[in-house]
């Protein structure tokens, strides 16, 4: 285990300092550009390469109470959403420092808890205005438009948080690269990307063919088209604002601002656009996710026929098969179930691959001593051995012989087992030309049960002719070079049957140390897309949501500061109202400390993505935009306006003639907001728990003691 080293000041809140210490270890994992870490185990003299918060915490010494609480929060977030753990860990540290600062300024703990909770809830309500609806994304899916057809590109923050450089700016495009009028040029951090456009009438396509012949006309056409492709936000609580005369409602329900461009409105109804926005720079993983989704969609369309049931992305029917030591070119997506077996099964697979085989499914362990959960062994039963022959034949051998007789009786050549399998049984079955595979996922078992007609059973003794499935094919997956097979010493096989709803993603890496990280990245992309399609909405990403939270909290803090001054001016005239006014006195301070956590988040995000050479420079950029957002009178509209500009805001003012557009970056809604809530809940839990342990008083008693002490002042 590795210790997270930091000097702890025992005169201050120890638990919050420990949270900040743990949080600092994962700072480089924030954002799309992650820096891997070598974790060195001083006891075992071993080192591993990691690039995720979950793997980091697995390697740290978390024996303390605070460490265990942090690990539990991160594991819960990861097990549920497979994403958001880096945000959670960073905000835990940022808000721990914020709570420490509040304590240092003398703010009562009860007010820290109530105001921080209220502030975060207000932020979550505010960012609803940056949600992008997703509707009917599979109604117009085209098999010719795939994520794999896109060129890989860099990563991006929201437009107004980017700082262009001469090296990052793309010079004049060679129009001959536009090979077809069905392609639109995007740009992400100055790197060109080709993306298929939405469907258009045939007459428009013919007009675009003529446009290609004239470069000047083509340039104007592309610029006009980029504006036409801007999405539409069909709901926003800012449409009907009455607190300012700057906004006028139009008849269609959209809003118009005097003295400024109409804010860009968003909607997403293209799968490739959504996947690209959710990839966060990991295009290799998202390509595999895209292929898996399209394969599921194709299978669903074939099975449904003329039915009009909406397609739903079923992530439970997608599995990964990891092959360390194999070149990355072998990574792919295939229908059916792909798994690895011992290389000693080569002859057996050759025997089975040219014929359909029958299958049985065991949902528990396939061992002699296995009993299902809740099994009660009969009492007062004694076994007497009457001969030495029975004693010589062990119960294990008798049991394996019985299993083999059952398989022979029902002509079964393939057994899938959800749990563990006896090694002796596997060996005997192999010699009898029967393949037994253990540790199979429950969803794989269910898929084969549905497609082959097999019935899952808990014990081999329950097998009868009605439990046996048929029509299953077993074959080698791909011809991997012999030198690679000798090195990895495993055999990869494919098991499938007609109509099976199962997709396997084969992940390969020539470096075994990177295999776990590659699988983690794939599942992160897959779950981002899954939750986006499930919720039918996403956030504008790249820091836009966090920037709105920051600006919103600062506005609330300024409003509270005005109320605080008003309260202080009338304090001596009405001393009996002091208790009721204490919240107003400290509200501004707590909100500013909470907002400072968002400021640190955005600074680290910009620094990690190389948009700024230092976090101090990033902080300056953020502060400038905060002032602009405040002056605009509506931070959310300011963000939408900056997104709507073709050339990504004020920092790109010198490149207005460049033919480029930064595409949208998206974040998923619920996993992000849940990461925020878990981070703050953990900080407040540690804050209150440590205080009760130190003082020996409960929450109500602490509040009373603080109040009395302040009244005497």
Which three-class secondary structure string do you get for 450-500? HHHCCCEECCHHHCCHHHCEEEEEEEECCCCCHHHHHHHCEEEEEEEECCC
Q: With cut-offs at 50, 70 and 90, classify the pLDDT of residue 322.
A: very high
CA–CA separation, 460 vs 284, rounded Å?
A: 43
Pairing relation of β-strands 191-196 and 183-188? Answer: antiparallel
In a domain, 591, yes or no: yes
* Structure tokens that stand for 509 in this block: 């890496």
DSSP 216: H
Secondary structure of residue 665 in the 3-state scheme:
coil
In a domain, 223, yes or no: no
CA–CA separation, 474 vs 305, rounded Å?
A: 27
pLDDT of residue 457: 95
In a domain, 610, yes or no: yes
**CATH code of the domain containing 617:** 1.10.560.10
Q: With cut-offs at 50, 70 and 90, classify the pLDDT of residue 175.
A: very low
Residue 614: is its pLDDT beyond 50? yes
One domain, residues 453 and 549: no
pLDDT of residue 309: 75
In a domain, 68, yes or no: yes
pLDDT of residue 204: 39
One domain, residues 517 and 544: no
In a domain, 295, yes or no: yes
One domain, residues 477 and 546: no
Q: Measuring CA to CA, which residue among 517, 527, 484, 463 is closest to residue 340?
A: 484
DSSP 2: B
pLDDT of residue 142: 63
Summarize pLDDT for 497-532 with one digit per residue, the tens.
Answer: 998 999 999 999 998 888 988 999 999 999 999 999
One domain, residues 479 and 543: no
Secondary structure of residue 90 in the 3-state scheme:
helix
One domain, residues 488 and 551: no
DSSP 502: -
CB of 438 closer than 8 Å to CB of 386: no
Q: Which helix (H) or strand (E) holds 194?
A: strand 191-196
Summarize pLDDT for 3-15 with one digit per residue, the tens.
Answer: 454 555 555 688 9
DSSP string, 250-293: -TTS-EEETTSPPPP---B--HHHHHHHHHTT-HHHHHHHHHHH
Average pLDDT, the chain: 76
Secondary structure of residue 410 in the 3-state scheme:
coil
* Structure tokens that stand for 360 in this block: 């049985």
In a domain, 422, yes or no: yes
CB atoms within 10 A of CB 237: 11
Who wins on pLDDT, 240 or 494? 494
Secondary structure of residue 529 in the 3-state scheme:
helix
- Which strands form 318-324's sheet, in the order they lie side by side? 318-324, 503-509, 332-335
Residue 347: is its pLDDT beyond 50? yes
Who wins on pLDDT, 372 or 354? 354
CA–CA separation, 477 vs 479, rounded Å?
A: 7
One domain, residues 624 and 503: no
One domain, residues 29 and 124: yes
Q: Measuring CA to CA, which residue among 159, 187, 160 is closest to residue 172?
A: 187
Summarize pLDDT for 133-170 with one digit per residue, the tens.
Answer: 998 888 777 655 666 545 444 555 665 566 544 333 33
CB atoms within 10 A of CB 121: 12
Q: How many domains does the chain have?
A: 2
**CATH code of the domain containing 505:** 3.50.7.10
CA 694-697-700 angle, 5° bins: 130
**Considering the entire predicted model, what is its pTM?**
0.78
Q: Measuring CA to CA, which residue among 91, 39, 12 is closest to residue 600?
A: 91
Q: With cut-offs at 50, 70 and 90, classify the pLDDT of residue 495.
A: very high
* Structure tokens that stand for 45 in this block: 């003299």
Residue 292: is its pLDDT beyond 70? yes
Which structural domain, as residue segments, surrounds residue 598? Answer: 2-133+539-567+583-696
Determine whether 228 is exposed, middle or buried from the number of CB atoms within 10 Å of its CB (0-12, 13-18, 19+).
exposed
Partners of 538 in the beta sheet? 132, 668
One domain, residues 416 and 496: yes
Highest mean pLDDT among 213-222, 262-271, 352-361, 567-576: 352-361
One domain, residues 125 and 107: yes
One domain, residues 546 and 687: yes
CA–CA separation, 358 vs 684, rounded Å?
A: 57
CA–CA separation, 39 vs 60, rounded Å?
A: 9
Summarize pLDDT for 640-665 with one digit per residue, the tens.
Answer: 888 776 333 333 333 333 334 456 78
In a domain, 558, yes or no: yes
* Structure tokens that stand for 213 in this block: 């012949």
Q: How far apart are the first and last CA of the chain?
A: 49
Partners of 133 in the beta sheet? 537
Residue 566: is its pLDDT beyond 70? no
**Region of poorest pLDDT, from 77-86, 270-279, 383-392, 602-611:** 383-392
In a domain, 554, yes or no: yes
One domain, residues 558 and 513: no
Residue 247: is its pLDDT beyond 50? no
Q: What is the mean pLDDT of residues 86-104?
A: 95
φ and ψ at residue 438, rounded to 5 degrees: -105, 175
User: Cα separations (Å) of 307 from 292, 317, 498, 533, 611?
Assistant: 22, 21, 20, 21, 49
One domain, residues 527 and 561: no
């Amino acid at each position: 285990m590795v210790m997270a080293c930091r000097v702890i000041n025992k005169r201050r809140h120890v638990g919050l300092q420990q949270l900040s210490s743990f949080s600092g270890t994962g700072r480089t994992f924030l954002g799309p550009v992650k820096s891997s870490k070598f974790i060195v185990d001083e006891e075992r003299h071993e080192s591993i390469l990691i690039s995720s918060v979950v793997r980091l915490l697995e390697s740290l010494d978390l024996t303390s109470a605070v460490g265990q609480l942090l690990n539990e929060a991160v594991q819960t977030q990861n097990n549920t959403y497979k994403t958001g753990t880096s945000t959670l860990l960073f905000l835990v540290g940022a808000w721990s420092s914020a709570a420490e600062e509040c304590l240092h300024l003398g703010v009562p703990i009860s007010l820290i808890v109530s105001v921080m909770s209220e502030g975060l809830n207000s932020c979550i309500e505010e960012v609803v205005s940056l949600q992008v609806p997703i509707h009917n994304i599979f109604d117009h899916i085209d098999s010719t438009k795939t994520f794999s057809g896109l060129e890989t590109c860099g990563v991006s923050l929201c437009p107004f948080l980017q700082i262009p450089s001469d090296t990052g700016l793309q010079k004049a495009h060679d129009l001959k690269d536009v090979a077809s009028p069905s392609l639109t040029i995007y740009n992400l951090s100055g790197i060109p990307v080709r993306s298929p456009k939405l469907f258009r009438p045939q007459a428009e396509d013919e007009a675009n063919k003529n446009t290609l012949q004239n470069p000047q006309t083509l340039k104007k056409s592309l610029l006009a088209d980029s504006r036409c492709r801007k999405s539409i936000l069909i709901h926003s609580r800012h449409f009907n604002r009455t607190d300012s005369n700057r906004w006028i409602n139009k008849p269609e329900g959209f809003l118009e601002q005097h003295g400024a461009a109409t804010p860009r409105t968003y909607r997403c109804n293209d799968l490739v656009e959504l996947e690209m926005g959710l990839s966060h720079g990991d295009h290799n993983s998202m390509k595999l996710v895209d292929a898996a989704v399209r394969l599921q969609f194709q299978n669903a369309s074939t099975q449904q026929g003329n039915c009009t049931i909406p397609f739903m992305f079923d992530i439970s029917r997608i599995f990964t098969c990891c092959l360390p030591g194999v070149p990355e070119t072998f990574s792919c997506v295939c229908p059916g179930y792909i798994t690895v077996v011992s290389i000693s099964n080569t002859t057996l697979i050759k025997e089975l691959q040219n014929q359909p085989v029958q299958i049985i499914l065991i949902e528990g362990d396939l061992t002699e001593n296995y009993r299902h959960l809740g099994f009660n062994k009969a009492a007062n039963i004694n076994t007497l051995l009457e001969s030495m022959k029975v004693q010589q034949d062990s119960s294990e051998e008798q049991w394996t012989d019985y299993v083999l007789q059952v398989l022979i009786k029902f002509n079964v050549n393939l057994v899938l087992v959800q749990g563990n399998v006896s090694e002796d049984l596997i060996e005997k079955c192999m010699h009898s030309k029967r393949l037994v595979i253990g540790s199979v996922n429950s969803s794989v078992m269910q898929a084969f049960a549905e497609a082959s007609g097999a019935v899952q059973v808990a014990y081999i003794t329950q097998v009868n002719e009605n439990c046996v499935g048929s029509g299953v094919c077993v074959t080698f997956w791909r011809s991997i070079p012999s030198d690679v097979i000798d090195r990895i010493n495993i055999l990869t096989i494919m098991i499938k049957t007609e109509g099976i709803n199962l997709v396997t993603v084969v992940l390969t890496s020539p470096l075994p140390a990177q295999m776990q990280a590659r699988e983690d990245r794939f599942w992160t992309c897959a779950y981002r897309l899954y939750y986006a399609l499930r919720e039918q909405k996403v956030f504008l990403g790249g820091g836009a949501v966090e920037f709105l939270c920051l600006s919103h909290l600062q506005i609330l803090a300024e409003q509270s500061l005005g109320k605080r001054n008003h309260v202080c001016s009338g304090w001596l005239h009405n001393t009996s109202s002091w208790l009721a006014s204490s919240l107003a006195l400290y509200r501004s301070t707590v909100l500013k400390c909470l907002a400072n956590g968002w400021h640190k988040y955005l600074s680290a995000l910009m620094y990690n993505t190389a948009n700024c050479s230092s976090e101090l420079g990033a902080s300056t950029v953020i502060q400038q935009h905060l002032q602009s957002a405040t002056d605009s009178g509506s931070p959310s509209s300011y963000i939408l306006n900056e997104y709507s500009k073709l050339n990504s805001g004020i920092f790109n003012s010198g490149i207005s003639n460049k033919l480029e557009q930064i595409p949208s970056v998206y974040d998923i809604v619920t996993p992000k907001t849940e990461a925020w809530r878990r981070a703050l809940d953990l900080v407040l839990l540690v804050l209150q728990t440590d205080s009760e342990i130190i003082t020996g008083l409960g929450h109500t008693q602490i509040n009373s003691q603080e109040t009395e002490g302040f009244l005497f002042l």
